[in-house]
Amino acid sequence: MTGPAGRFTHEGVPIRIVFGAGVRNGLAEELDRLGLRQVVLIASESSRAEADAMVAALDHRLTWRVDGVRQHVPTELAQEVTDDAMRVGADGVVTLGGGSATGLGKAVALSGLPLVAVPTTYAGSEMTPVWGVTTAGRKQTGCDPRVVPKTVLYDPELTYPLPPHITAASGMNALAHCLEALWAAGASPLTEPLALDACRALCASLPVAVVEPWDSKARGRALVGACQAGMALAGAGTGLHHKLCHVLGGRYDLPHAETHAALLPHVVGFNEPVLGSLSARMAVAVGTGRASTAVHDLASRMGLTMALGDLGMPESAIGEVATEVAAAPPQNPRPADEASLRSLLRAAWEGDGPA
């Protein structure tokens, strides 16, 4: 939140964004613009057909193709793909897919290769300088300008095939970005309007996109919201919510977006009492009297599993995660000690509504 006497510092990310139906077909021109002649293409399995089309369109600009994307970016996979990229003399990386494909591309970009991202979900990773890899169940994250894509091609048509469940979960992941951006340490008068606008866009469009996946207006608005949410998070930073999700995801291999969805109402509910007037602005953007309840209702209405226990989190994790996070607590508007983290995690594990 804005510091004393209204002072704040904001660091923007220098990304060229090309948005619109069909813009994926302009990838070759974007690579030429960047002077990239030998790229590695990393594509999610679900985007195989689109990746095949891209391979044909990239022609001589492609030197290597990787299909084996995995969630939470295992360190060995990141190393293997980086080694391959070096061996074939690649001069850039292109990703096509969700946050897992972008995440692998970012891990490779840490070697200095420029990244171009073509996202197909609402994860928003392509807008942030945050990278993450997982070694032996521990997710390590960091911030590095080298992983920021040079160009992002947002083509809403690529999101039409997203099944309702992934649309909902990934959209809730984006909602988590903009809500946490409202209260994170770097939140400022520059990030707040972006985050609130993203909230409005996501809350209005996601329920439509879940039942009408081919609704171009809803898909376009949701993707703009996801982009704004990622930008807001890049400026404001992360806090308690993302910390809990990273520990849970890394330790227990929980599905990333679904974990965000189940946990979010509880973290919002935990912070709401200390946010002052921001709490009301947040509730208006989400569309009802209390943001935490609205977030819970939105996710449930879209058919998401709201109990972390049903997503594979063992009951013993409640104490383990509370102890780990309380030992090095992240910045949060309301201090979170071990006892409060235990009760927050228990409620999320059981899938109760927010306190």
Which parts of this chain interact with ligand NAD (CB under 6 A)? 44-47, 71-72, 97-101, 103, 120-121, 123-125, 128, 130, 132, 158-159, 161-162, 166, 170, 173, 256-257
Joined tokens for residue 294: 């609205």
The distance of closest approach from Cβ of residue 45 to ligand NAD in the complex, given in angstroms and rounded to an integer, is 5
Of residues 114 and 132, the one with the C-beta less far from ligand NAD: 132
Other Cβ atoms less than 10 A from the Cβ of 122: the count is: 32
Whichever of 176 and 203 has its CB closer to ligand NAD, that residue is 176
Q: SS3 of 20, please?
A: coil
Task: For residue 116, give the 3-state DSSP assignment.
Answer: strand
C-beta of 313 vs 347, nearer to ligand NAD: 313
Which run of H or of E encompasses 87? helix 75-87
Rounded to a whole number of angstroms, the minimum distance from the CB of residue 319 to ligand NAD is 24
Closer by beta carbon to ligand NAD, 97 or else 114: 97
Min separation Cβ 250 and ligand NAD, Å? 9
Q: Which of 333, 292, 311 is nearest to 175 (CA)?
A: 292
Shortest Cβ 173–ligand NAD spacing (Å): 6
Q: 247-282: string of b/e by CB count within 10 Å (b at 16+)?
A: bbbbbbebbbbbbbbbbbbbbbbbbbeebeebbebb
In the bound state with ligand NAD, the residue whose beta carbon lies nearer, of 262 and 283, is 262
Among the listed residues 174, 160, 124, 121, the one whose alpha carbon sits nearest the alpha carbon of residue 299: 174
The amino acid occupying position 256 is H
Output 207 or 213, the one with its CB closest to ligand NAD.
213
Give φ, ψ of 135 to 5 degrees.
-125, 125
Question: Which DSSP category does 63 fall into?
Answer: E
Shortest Å, Cβ 99 to ligand NAD = 2
Q: How far is the CB of 56 from ligand NAD (least distance, A)?
A: 19
Enumerate helices (H) and strands (E) in the chain, giving the number of each: 13, 8
